[in-house]
Amino acid sequence: MDQILALLDYQALRVIWFVLLGVLFWGFALTDGFDLGVGLLLPFVAQKDSERRILINTIAPVWEGNQVWLILSAGAIFAAWPTVYAVLFTGLYLPLIGVLFAIMLRPVGFKYRSKMPSPVWRGFWDGCLFVAGLLPASSFGIVLGALLCGLPFHFNSELRLEITSPSLTHPVIVSSAILWVFLCGCHGGLYLLMKTSDVVQSRVRGIILPGLWGTNIVFCVFLSLWKTMIPKTLVLQVTDGPSNPLLKEVALYAPHVSQVLTDALPLSGSALFLWSLFVGVSLLIASFIRRGLYGWAFGFHGFLLALVIGFVGLSHFPIIVPSSTHPGHSLTVWDASSSEMSLFFMLIAALIFVPIIITYTTWVYRVMRGRVDSQWLKDNADKAY
C-alpha cells in the first residue's frame, strides 16, 4: 500500500487525471453521441410518423442516462482542472450555452411531440429534435477545435484571468465542428442498424457508408488544416511545481511558408499514421456493415471517436488549453490542476463510482436490448413516445 501511495505523487496524479478527462469525454461521445446522431438522422431516414416514432423510441430508454457522462466530464474539469474550467466556460460560453439549450430542448421535444396528432405539431417538434442533435454535436467539435487553436486569454500579475471573445470561424474549428456532426451521425446510424428493421434499417444502410467515407474526407481536411495552420509548441517547465501558469516558457514553431504546399495533405509523419489508421478502421467497419455485424461496426466506430479525442488531447501535450494571445500563459498538465490532496481523494471517488456507473449502464442496455418496430410500438402503446 505504501508503495502504491509513493507512486501516486503529484506528477502521476496530474497525468492520471489528464487521461481520465479524455476517458470521460470519450464516454460521452460513445454513449450520448449515438442518440445525438439519431436526432441528426431523423429527417433523412424516417418519412412517416410511425417511422419517426421508431427512431425516437430506440433512444427513449437510454438518452437520459447517457448524459451522465457529460455531467461527469464537466464535474471532473471543475474539480480537477479549475483553471481549465474557468477558461473554457468563459471563452466558449456561446457553444456551451447552446449545448445547455439543446439538453433542455430534447426532453421537451420527446414529451410534447406525442401530445397532439397534428402533422404540423409533430413536424415542429421533430425539427426541434434535429436541432437538439445538431447543436451539441457541432458544439463538441467547436470545443475540441478551440483546444487546438487556442483561446485569447492571459493572466495578470495577480493571476486573475483576462479573456476576450474568441473567433469561432477559424478553419480548424469549423472543420472540427463538421467532423463531429459526421461522427455523431454515423454513430447514430450504426446504433439504428442494431435497433431497427425493415424499411427504416434499409434507409439507414443506404446512407451510412456514404456518411462514413464523408467522415474520412472531413478528417483528412481537418488534419491538413491542423498541419498547415497550427504552430508546434515547446514547453519548458518543471512538472511537480505549483499550479501557476506563469512559471514556464513556451516556444512556438509556425509552419514555414515553403512547407505549406508540401504539407497540404496529411501525407507525412503522425498525420499520415493517424489518417491511415482512421481509414483502415473505416474499411473494417464497412466490412462489418456489409456482413450484417452491426454490433462490431458500432464498437469499432467507438474506436474512431477515441482516436479523434486522443489526437486533440495529445497534439499539444502537455498543453491542455493554448493561449492564442499569450502562449506563455497556456494551461498545461503541470500548472492547471487542483492540489495534490484534491486529486488523490477525487481519484479514490472515481475508482469507486465510475465502475458503478459502467455496471448499471451496461445492465440498462442489456435489459433494453432488442429491435424497435411497428409491432413494438403497438405492444408498448401505453409507454412509447
Query: What is the mean pLDDT, run by run of 10 residues, along the chain of 385 residues?
Result: 64 92 90 90 88 87 83 88 91 87 85 85 90 91 91 88 88 95 95 89 91 93 87 80 83 61 56 86 95 93 94 89 90 89 90 88 84 78 71
- What residue numbers bound the domain in which 38 lies? 2-379
Which amino acid makes up residue 125? W
What cell was used for 221?
481536411
Question: What's residue 254's pLDDT?
Answer: 67
Number of domains in the chain: 1
Strand partners, 152: none
Look-up of cell digits 476576450: 164
Q: 315: which residues sit within 8 A by CB, 6+ positions away?
A: 148, 226, 230
Of the candidates 376, 385, 310, 271, which has an alpha carbon nearest to the alpha carbon of residue 29?
A: 310
CB-based contact 289:53 (threshold 8 Å): no
In a domain, residue 280? The reply is yes
Give the model confidence (pLDDT) of 243-298 as tens digits.
888 888 887 776 654 454 455 555 556 777 888 899 999 999 999 999 999 999 99
In a domain, residue 24? The reply is yes
In a domain, residue 41? The reply is yes
Helix, strand, or coil here: 130? Answer: helix
Which amino acid makes up residue 51? E
**Sign of the C-alpha dihedral computed for residues 63, 80, 303 and 138 taken in this order:** positive
In a domain, residue 53? The reply is yes
Q: Which long-range contacts (CB under 8 A, 24 or more apart) does 247-253 make?
A: 247/335, 248/328, 248/332, 248/334, 248/335, 249/328, 250/319, 250/327, 250/328, 250/330, 251/327, 252/327
In a domain, residue 385? The reply is no
Instruction: Give the Cα separation of 310 and 147 in Å (integer).
Output: 12
Look-up of cell digits 434499409: 202
Of the candidates 52, 28, 29, which has an alpha carbon nearest to the alpha carbon of residue 186?
A: 29
Look-up of cell digits 452491426: 294
Question: What's residue 294's pLDDT?
Answer: 93
Report DSSP state, residue 372: -
Look-up of cell digits 500548472: 335
Tell me the CB-side half-sphere exposure of residue 38, using CA atoms within 13 A: 26
In a domain, residue 196? The reply is yes
In a domain, residue 384? The reply is no
Question: What's residue 261's pLDDT?
Answer: 47
The pairing of beta strand 232-236 with beta strand 161-163: unpaired
Q: 335: which residues sit within 8 A by CB, 6+ positions away?
A: 237, 241, 242, 243, 244, 245, 247, 248
CB-based contact 213:282 (threshold 8 Å): yes
Question: What's residue 367's pLDDT?
Answer: 82
Q: 336: which residues sit within 8 A by CB, 6+ positions away?
A: 81, 83, 84, 243, 245, 320, 321
| E strand or H helix at 163 | strand 161-163
Taking residue 328's Cβ as centre, other Cβ atoms within 10 Å add up to: 18
pTM summary value: 0.91
